[in-house]
Amino acid sequence: MSMAGPDGHWTARAACGQGKVAPDALFVEGAAQRDARSVCGACVVRMECLADALDSRADFGVWGGMTERERRALRRRRPEVESWWDELFGPDRPGGPDAGDPAGASAAPQALAT
């Protein structure tokens, strides 16, 4: 089963996409980040979003349920990681960061804990 939307990209399935959330709602500071993160809670492509944000070094906003501060801290803790997509889903996972195939998504949170 592919997580890609009709356009073939995982973002088409994102809980924050397609006008569901105001464009600036995920680019907030302070206490408002808690509300922004809540959008990610039940998102079916949360880990794809996080891997994409980590690989592209997105510096602003909430991506995959993590703030920019949390993502920076994770990158500092794991400087050896060259590809977060490979780290979270495995290098042989079909689809890659642009397709968002869910195979192996349940194992992704364990990679973040190390």
Question: pLDDT tens across 68-104, in order?
Answer: 999 999 999 999 999 999 999 887 765 555 454 444 4
CA distance 80 to 19: 36
In this structure, is residue 54 part of a structural domain?
yes
Residues of the domain holding 60: 10-113
Annotated binding residue 16:
yes
**Residues contacting residue 65 through CB under 8 Å, at least 6 positions apart:** 37, 40, 41, 43, 46, 50
pLDDT of residue 11: 87
Annotated binding residue 66:
no
Distances (CA, A) of 72 to 46, 51, 53, 100: 17, 13, 11, 23
In this structure, is residue 4 part of a structural domain?
no
In this structure, is residue 3 part of a structural domain?
no
pTM higher than 0.85:
no
Q: How many folded domains does the chain comprise?
A: 1
Annotated binding residue 49:
yes
Annotated binding residue 26:
no
Closest CA to 1 of 95, 97, 101, 89: 101
